[in-house]
Chain A
C-alpha cells in the first residue's frame, strides 16, 4: 500500500457517499414510486440531482474498480465503509434527516471495523493464480 493507493480508497469513500446523498435528495423530490409505475424509475435518472448523483457514482465506480485490481474484496469493502460515517454526517447536516444516538453508536462500530481491517494485508497471495500475460509481466516487474 502506498499514497496513490490510499488516495484511490479515499476517492471510493468520498464519491460513494456524496453520490448516494445526491440520489437520496433527488428521489425525495420525485416522491414515492409505486410498483405498477416502475417505468418512472427509468426517467428518474434525468432529474438533475439524480443525474449529478449518477455522475459522482461513476467516479466512485472507477475508483472502486481500480482498488479491486490490487486489493481483495474483503479488504476494500470494510476499508471504504468509513463512507457510511461520512454519509451520516451529510444526512444530518445537509439533508436534515434525524440521526439518533443509536445511529452514532453504529457509526462508532463501523469506524472500529475499518481500523481493524486497515492494519492487515490488502491482498491474498495466490501462488498458482490464473493470470494474464500482462498481469504476470507486471508482477515480475515489481518483484
Chain B
C-alpha cells in the first residue's frame, strides 16, 4: 500500500509539474529576459510584471499542487527515489509538452539528452 500511494503521488507530481512547467515557460517567454528587464526598469517592475501574467499564476497553481503531492510522496518513500522517479517521467512529458504547446525545436540532441537523463533518473530510482 505504501508503494502504491508513493507511485500515485509520483503520477500526480508528473502531471501537475509538466502542466506548470509549460505554463510558466510560456509566461516567461511573453515577458522576455528578466535580467535585462530588471536592469532597465528595476526589480519592482519585474515582480509586478511577472505576477500580473495570467499563465504565471495558473502555472504557479499547478506547481503548488505538485509540491503538495511531493510532500505526500516524501512521507512514504526516500527522497532519492521520489525526486528522481518523478523527474524522470517529467522529462519525457515536458519534451512532448514543450514541442506541442511551446513549439520548441526539440532536435535529436535534446531528445537524446531527455532520454539519457530520464533513463539515468530511472536507474537511480531502482
Contacts and interface: CB of A to CB of B under 8 A. Distances in A.
Contacts, number: 195
Interface residues of B, number: 63
B120 A109 contact: yes
Main SS class of interface, B: helix
A103 B114 contact: no
A117 B104 contact: no
A28 B41 CA distance: 43
Given A41-B72, A87-B80, A113 B36 contact: no
Contacts of B5: 35
Interface size class, chain A: 35 or more
Contact of B120 (A21, A112, A120, A135): A112
Nearest to B107: A120
B80 A23 contact: no
A135 B30 contact: yes
Contacts of A102: 123-124, 126
A52 interface: no
Interface of A: 4-5, 8, 20-21, 23-24, 27-28, 30-33, 35, 38, 41, 44, 50, 57, 64-66, 68-70, 72-75, 77-78, 81, 84, 87-88, 91, 95, 97, 99-100, 102-103, 105-114, 116-117, 119-120, 124, 126, 129-132, 134-135, 138-139, 141-142
28 contacts: A32-B76, A35-B5, A38-B72, A65-B28, A65-B50, A69-B37, A73-B94, A73-B98, A74-B94, A78-B114, A81-B87, A84-B83, A87-B83, A95-B79, A103-B124, A103-B126, A105-B123, A106-B119, A106-B121, A106-B125, A107-B120, A107-B124, A109-B120, A110-B120, A114-B117, A117-B109, A130-B30, A138-B36
Interface of B: 2, 5, 21-22, 24-25, 28-37, 40-41, 49-50, 67-68, 70-72, 74-76, 78-80, 83-84, 87, 90-91, 94-95, 97-99, 102-107, 109-110, 112-117, 119-126
